[in-house]
């Protein structure tokens, strides 16, 4: 029997979850910036997932990290939630 190569002290690599993140699996709606000038940067601190960042152009959204909770759109103007799925509808 050969065990997997694991650390002696059960532990994980720092920040590795961020690299493996796939927010899309939890998202039903995704936030989109509709008016960059009106976005309140406070949403940087309201996002549970660190999916928002500030660059020269303003707030940027990482869809790899975003789980689509909708807090940013609720707390700030200039962000709207749009449905992830826009395919065929109406088959029940």
Residues at the site binding another protein, with contacts judged by CB under 8 A: 1, 3-4, 6-21, 26-27, 41-42, 44-51, 53-54, 65, 67-71, 73-75, 81
Nearest approach in angstroms of CB 86 to another protein is 20
Residues in the chain: 92
Tokens describing residue 46 = 């309201």
Nearest approach in angstroms of CB 87 to another protein is 22
Nearest approach in angstroms of CB 83 to another protein is 14
CB of 55 within 8 A of CB of 33? no
d(CA 11, CA 87): 42
């Amino acid at each position: 029997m050969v065990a997997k190569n694991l650390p002696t002290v059960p532990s994980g690599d720092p920040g590795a979850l961020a690299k493996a993140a796939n927010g899309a699996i939890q998202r039903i709606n995704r936030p989109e910036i509709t008016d960059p000038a009106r976005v309140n940067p406070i949403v940087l601190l309201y996002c549970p997932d660190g999916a928002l960042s500030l660059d020269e152009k303003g707030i940027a959204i990482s869809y790899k990290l975003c789980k689509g909770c909708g807090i940013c759109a609720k707390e700030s103007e200039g962000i709207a939630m749009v449905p992830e799925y826009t395919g065929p509808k109406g088959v029940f």
